[in-house]
Amino acid sequence: MEMATNRAFIFLGPPGAGKGTQSKRFARRCAVPHFSTGDMLRDAVSRGTELGRLARPIMERGELVPDDVIMKMVEERLAEPDCAGGVVFDGFPRTLPQAEQLGRVLESKGFGKPVVVDFEVSLDVLMRRLTGRWSCSVCGAIYNAYDAPPKVRGTCDHDGGKLVQRPDDRPDVVKERLVAYERQTMPLADYYRRQGLLDAVDASAGMEDVSRALEAIIKRIEGRDGRL
Ligand SMILES: [Zn+2]
Q: What is the pLDDT of residues 188-214, one digit of tens each?
A: 999 999 999 999 999 998 889 999 999
Nearest Cα residue to 128 out of 145, 153, 115: 145
The per-residue pLDDT for 168 is 81
Active site residue 177: yes
Active site residue 61: no
Q: How confident is the model at residue 162 (pLDDT cuts 50, 70, 90)?
A: very high
Nearest Cα residue to 162 out of 188, 180, 183, 140: 140
Distance of alpha carbon 177 from alpha carbon 131, whole angstroms: 12
Q: Given the residues 77, 128, 129, 133, select the one marked as catalytic.
A: 133
The per-residue pLDDT for 16 is 87
Domain presence at residue 160 = no
Ligand 1 geometric centre to CA of 161 (Å)? 5
Residue 228 pLDDT > 90: no
Amino acid in the structure at residue 27: A
Amino acid in the structure at residue 136: C
Distance of alpha carbon 95 from alpha carbon 13, whole angstroms: 13
Distance of alpha carbon 42 from alpha carbon 59, whole angstroms: 9
Residue 5 pLDDT > 70: no
Domain presence at residue 29 = yes
Ligand 1 geometric centre to CA of 162 (Å)? 8
The residue count for the chain: 228
What backbone phi and psi angles, to 5 degrees, belong to 26?
-65, -45
Distance of alpha carbon 186 from alpha carbon 179, whole angstroms: 11
Residue 77 pLDDT > 60: yes
* Mean pLDDT, the chain, integer: 89
Cis before 171 (ω within 30): no
Domain presence at residue 24 = yes
Q: What is the pLDDT of residues 13-53, one digit of tens each?
A: 998 898 988 999 999 988 899 998 888 888 889 999 898 99
Ligand 1 geometric centre to CA of 131 (Å)? 19
CATH code at position 94: 3.40.50.300
Residue 1 pLDDT > 70: no
Domain presence at residue 77 = yes
* Crossing angle of the two packed helices 96-108 and 67-78, in degrees rounded to 10: 30
> Three-state DSSP class for 107?
helix
Domain presence at residue 133 = no
Amino acid in the structure at residue 19: K
- 152 exposure class (CB count in 10 Å sphere: 0-12, 13-18, 19+): exposed
Active site residue 72: no
Q: State the residue range of the domain holding 186.
A: 7-122+182-224
Residue 150 pLDDT > 60: yes
Domain presence at residue 58 = yes
Domain presence at residue 127 = no
Q: List CB-based neighbours of ion ligand 1 within 5 Å.
A: 136, 138-139, 141, 156, 158-159, 161
Distance of alpha carbon 207 from alpha carbon 136, whole angstroms: 24
Contact at 8 Å (CB) between 74 and 40?
A: yes
The per-residue pLDDT for 209 is 93
Total of domains in the chain: 1
Domain presence at residue 174 = no
